[in-house]
Amino acid sequence: MHLSGKTALVTGSVQGIGLAIAKAFASEGARVVVHGLADEEQAASVKEQIIAAGAPDVLFFDADMRDVAAIDAMMDAVVEWGGADILVNNAGIQKTASLADATPEIWDAIIAVNLSGAFHTMRRAMPLMETRGYGRVINIASVHGLVASVNKAPYVSAKFGLVGLSKVAALEYAAKGTKESGGITVNCICPGWTETAIIEPQVQARADMYGGDKVAGTASLLKEKQPSLRTSDPAEIGQLALWLANPIAHNITGTSIPVDGGWTAQ
């Protein structure tokens, strides 16, 4: 229970990768702040799942990550609760469109949620981490923070920006804390094809090409990019995040770790 007494804030954690990460932290005794777009029933269900996974306490927020004032209000409340020792920026949106067809509204929304939102949580959380000598920022950046794909200009731009932001923050806080306290680290996890709702429209579109066969559609998608031909389960990302949060990982900072079945090795 190496996270006992610690508090983790995970944005975009009512489903998929974010929920898996929140459960992983809960399993090691952390209090968890969950966040996302959810109605009252879904929010209650998520909180129950986190408690069942082992968290001693849970808070829920539905802050709009496009709204700086809403983010600040959430961060104020988290500080009142004791502050985040671990911050995971997982909230993200995606819309595929060619550069010519991507509207200003699409660009602004994707940049705001996927990049600016992380900046605003980090600038609030990291100074408090410094006072404690321990802190973890884990940004979920996608393989599209390392390589590009067509029809994803706003998303790829945001994810490349998130990798850059993480490197800067890693450098600024690298010498804070000690080996004994765990230090402060900032890293990106870069998933490839992972079984989440955000890829479902692409899977369904490809399945339609195979007469509605989802298995064949998924295999077709992975064949183009992911040499392992296997998707990742969100729980696998959760376990990597959990390991990065361990004080033993004090010297791993400024990295971008692909979980992509060899995609970015090509």
End-to-end C-alpha distance for the chain, whole angstroms: 38
Instruction: Tell me the per-residue pLDDT of 237-265, one tens digit each, with 9 for 90 and over.
Output: 999 999 999 999 999 999 999 999 999 99
C-alpha–C-alpha distance, residues 255 and 247, integer Å: 16
Are residues 128 and 204 both part of a single domain? no
The helix, strand and coil proportions of the chain, stated in percent and rounded to the nearest 5, come to 50, 15, 35
CATH of the domain at 176: 3.40.50.720
pTM for the model stands at 0.94
Average model confidence (pLDDT) across the chain: 96
Are residues 120 and 217 both part of a single domain? no
Are residues 206 and 134 both part of a single domain? no
Instruction: Tell me the per-residue pLDDT of 135-174, one tens digit each, with 9 for 90 and over.
Output: 999 999 999 999 999 999 999 999 999 999 999 999 999 9
Are residues 25 and 53 both part of a single domain? yes
DSSP letter, residue 112 = I
> Residue 218: which domain range?
195-231
Is residue 155 annotated as a catalytic residue, yes or no? Answer: yes
Which distant-in-sequence residues (6+ apart) come within 8 Å of 180 by Cβ? Answer: none
Q: Is 244 exposed, middle or buried (0-12, 13-18, 19+ CB in 10 A)?
A: buried
**How many structural domains comprise the chain?**
2
Catalytic option among 134, 155, 173, 210 = 155
Are residues 83 and 178 both part of a single domain? yes
Is there a contact between 25 and 86 (Cβ–Cβ < 8 Å)?
Answer: yes
Are residues 146 and 114 both part of a single domain? yes
Are residues 64 and 105 both part of a single domain? yes
